[in-house]
Structure 1
């Protein structure tokens, strides 16, 4: 019997009428975790994998615009909805520190994997564009009857959240963006950066992760992207995104986000949104620079800005307690 033919060894939530079958990626990894937990492990590794099993146990699946997506729906169904959108080449597990504290505070917390990311299927049309991702968010919101939801988004996810707020304002109650800013267009960078990212992520980091050399991406993240050292468990969850991200998503998204019209649209969309917006910047973010974040917030009618000292681009893993506190305070003040 093949791995994918084996039964899923993790009990998941009761099925809903809208649920789709689990994806092959999910089944593969759920069985892998179960098999490893059945073997001999160090106490620390067992705790880490038991944590992952608990995350896997919450998995739900839904078809959106022809692609099966992995999502999780935690907290009271009648709570204020909070939708979490992860970043480029990441997964919904990047939000794992946030979900339970906000659910316990009474919010209905919905996190999901973008198509081609995490345990969501790849898009056969390779529509890994901001507009394509935005259409999926809109479909998810309506399928789950979220109504106007608070939207928290990280990095690439903020492009998507902003697009939804600008084009379907009835679906968005407020916005919290982490590590996001205006990105000035540079003709040279637009030609060079997408190829560089394709090489680094698809040609180097992804093969490294498949060989279980997760500590090499850890070193890269610590030296380049972060000011604080994430835990080993968080880095392993982060590199899980590398393992399952469709390589085409890296190429398509990186190319699109280097186009001048896409970058210019961010400023124009920011001018139109009426929802409360909080942009949280890492003071030492090498990608989304705080100064450009301030410029973006200045365009939004109801925008506010918070700069977190000694923080890089990976705030969700660097300073998760800060993220939780920031979100609680902001959401409490939204009327």
Structure 2
């Protein structure tokens, strides 16, 4: 009997009128986790997988602009809504440290996978653009009837949050961006970087992860992207995103974010927003440099900047307790 044919299930939240069926990605991985938990494991591996099963048990699915999205909705239904947007080639699980502490603080915390990422379905039209992702976020806010939300975004997610805040200010109450900055246009880099990212992520790291050699992508991330070493459970969650991200999402997003008009739009949108904004930068971030983050904040009307020492680009896994404390203090000040 195949794994998918086994009667192994994970209890999920009660259905809502707009719920969609789980995606094939989710079904595959939920059965994989349940099957492995039914076997013989080390104590550490069992704890890790039980943690993942708890995350999987919160899964909900909704169709946004023709594509089924995975999301989680945790905390009091009448709490101030806080929407979490993950980064490029990541997933909603990258926020797993943040969700419960903020929900316990009284916020209704919604984390979701961008289309083509995590357990969200791939977009057959391959509209993996800032405008495309922005339209999906707007639809999620409408369908869940969230009204005006706090947005917290990491890396690529900040492009999306900024777009929505600038063009639909009634939907956004405040913004917290982690590891984001202005990116100066460079003609040579714009021609080379999309090819490089496609090669590294789609042709090297993704096949390696599928062979369960998760520690190789981790070594790359630790040497290039991070200043702190996260626990194995976080490493495994981080590299899981490699397995399920649509390779086209990498190519399309990387190409779009190299276009001068997209990079220029970030500065223009920063000038448009009136909402409170906090930009948190890792002092040693090699991608989104703190100096360029300060320049972005200087363009806003109600922005502030925080630089975290000894931190790279992967703050959500490097220093999760810092992230939680920063978010709590900022959100409390917005009230």
1:29 aligns with 2:34: no
Runs of 4+ residues deviating >4 angstroms: 5-8
**Residues 14-73 of structure 1 deviation map (CA, whole Å, 9 limit, x = unaligned):** 000010000000000000000000011010000000000000000000000000000000
Task: Give 1:3 shift.
Answer: 3.6
**For 1:281 and 1:190, how far apart are their aligned partners in 2?**
23
**For 1:66 and 1:169, how far apart are their aligned partners in 2?**
24
Task: Give 1:97 shift.
Answer: 0.1
**For 2:230 and 2:216, how far apart are their aligned partners in 1?**
14
**For 2:299 and 2:106, how far apart are their aligned partners in 1?**
32
1:293 matched residue in structure 2: 293
1:325 matched residue in structure 2: 325
What SS does the aligned partner of 1:78 have?
coil
The CA RMSD over aligned residues, in Å, is: 0.8
2:55 matched residue in structure 1: 55
Task: Give 1:160 shift.
Answer: 0.2
**For 2:17 and 2:250, how far apart are their aligned partners in 1?**
33
1:155 aligns with 2:155: yes
1:166 aligns with 2:166: yes
The answer on whether the counterparts of 1:101 and 1:324 sit within 8 Å (CA) in structure 2 is yes
The answer on whether the counterparts of 2:3 and 2:35 sit within 8 Å (CA) in structure 1 is no
**For 1:8 and 1:228, how far apart are their aligned partners in 2?**
37
2:304 matched residue in structure 1: 304
What SS does the aligned partner of 1:123 have?
coil
1:230 matched residue in structure 2: 230
The answer on whether the counterparts of 1:8 and 1:27 sit within 8 Å (CA) in structure 2 is no
1:199 matched residue in structure 2: 199
**For 1:134 and 1:120, how far apart are their aligned partners in 2?**
15
**For 2:113 and 2:29, how far apart are their aligned partners in 1?**
15
Cα distance change of structure 1 residues 40 and 277 upon mapping to structure 2, 3 Å threshold: same
Aligned residues: 335
1:183 matched residue in structure 2: 183
**For 1:247 and 1:171, how far apart are their aligned partners in 2?**
31
Unaligned runs of 5+ in 2: none
Task: Give 1:7 shift.
Answer: 4.6
Unaligned runs of 5+ in 1: none
1:97 matched residue in structure 2: 97
**For 1:6 and 1:160, how far apart are their aligned partners in 2?**
39
